[in-house]
Amino acid sequence: MERKISFWLAIIPLVVLIACMAITIVVFEEGPHIPLIVGTITAALVAWKAGYKWDELEEAMYKGIRLALPAVIIIMLIGLVIGAWIGSGVVATMIYYGLKIISPSLFLVSIMLICSIVSIAIGSSWSTIGTIGVAGMGIGLSIGIPAPMIAGAIISGSYFGDKMSPLSDTTNLAAGLTGTDLFVHIRHMFYTTIPGLIISLGVFWFLGRDFGKGNVSTTDIEQTLAVLQEEFVISPFLLVIPLLVIILVAKKVPAIPGLVIGVLLGFLTQVFVQGDSFADAISALQAGYVIETGNAMVDDLFNGGGLDNMMYTVSMAIVAMTFGGMLEHTGMLSAIVSQVLKLAKTAKSLVISTIVSCFATNATCSEQYISIVIPSRMFANAYRDKGLSSKNLSRALEDGGTLTSVFIPWNTCGVFIFGTLGVSVFEYAPYAILNFAVPIIAIIYAMTGFTIEKMSDQERAKVEKELKQQQDTITV
């Protein structure tokens, strides 16, 4: 039996978490693991005080961890992919031809567009970041572009595709939970996401201009190309491996089998094309690829990957979801969101409240999916009561949930990006242009009423039919 926890009690763990985060990260410059554990302990004490027993609290944590398991598997697989693709020469080949083809001044625009196209094709921001994004970081760093800018462009492109692809799990989740037709949902997102894309491309074009004015040393690039040719077998045929993975996922092969195939192909290529031993290839999967060329740039780019290097990220995801599970399954999150609902008295404030609640859920529950699931449950009736089309809710869930997850250092998305690209949230956040531009655009639309649509006659009839069925069930 669920015990009610008041709003003021529910926010105590959040206040403690934020205070601990500020001290640990800003003052001591340590990671967010310990603050999250402290927050979880605080939440457990609040719930225990409210009447929850230990076995119930334990189950709440387990439920949170279970929700994180798919993300944990993907994170580990991405570590294996990076190790295998570095060892196989795939990353070296992508960087080699990237340096040959892409203009420094247009690099940020180019990598964002490439990530957008790939992410639309496969419906996964994580798979795009873990493959195309890793190579993009290498190319950008090789031509002297700061890592936070590169990461921002990669993230912006990857999340544009993830948000707009009919293959994306978050896109299908938002549409399904709100009862909105998938393609109606995607078309309605055009109003906020396309302007965000245009703004992002414009900013990256502006930022990239300086890198085409002679600030990039061609000598450094030539040295990098020479070292790559010396250390790896470079061949366009190696690009078949990432292309095959992209095609498999685009053909609706699940992400995990698709990535496993990518790992196996990379492993075999390292042995039979690059000429490394089986022991070296296994080591690249476990501990990451190791190389010493004497060229600092190449050594920084190619020493990495592997399962071991993802364990920080895995532990972060588990700890974060422990805290999130405690908040959700003891009713604390519900208490907080219901208080927010009291402030949403108009259609405009309702949309804004949805976006803010999605961001807050990303921060408190540390998982992108929860930021869509919980607000969709909380706000569905409010949208219906105000006569608003469900596509307003589905769009707000993605604008506020899917995109803002990258700004929370302890959210699984922020943790994954840091583990994969090696750039912290605090560094790349100013350059993840699309991810903060779209929610701002959505809030402006809400304030002006632009594109906030009422229920159609068909939707209204459907809602009335559902309500009648519910009443009939209660009567029976």
* Domain boundaries of the chain, sorted by first residue: 70-215+227-310
- 373 is written with which tokens? 């699931």
Q: How large is the average pLDDT for residues 398-416?
A: 91
Top-confidence residue, 171 or 283:
283
> How far apart are alpha carbons 429 and 392 in whole angstroms?
26
The pLDDT, as a whole number, for residue 312 is 82
What distance in Å separates the CA atoms of residue 83 and residue 281, rounded to the nearest whole number? 9
In angstroms, how far is CA 8 from the centroid of its own chain? 31
State if pTM tops 0.95.
Answer: no
pLDDT digits (tens, 9 = 90+) for 207-225: 998 776 555 556 667 788 8
Instruction: Compute the average pLDDT of residues 374-397.
Output: 87
Check whether 314 has a pLDDT greater than 60.
yes
Percent of the chain with pLDDT over 70: 93
CB 191 within 8 A of CB 445: yes
Has residue 243 got a pLDDT over 70?
A: yes
Give the mean pLDDT of 161-188: 84
Per cent of the chain over pLDDT 90 is 40
Q: Identify the pLDDT of residue 274.
A: 96
pLDDT at residue 307 tops 60: yes
Average pLDDT, the chain: 86
More confident: 265 or 466: 265
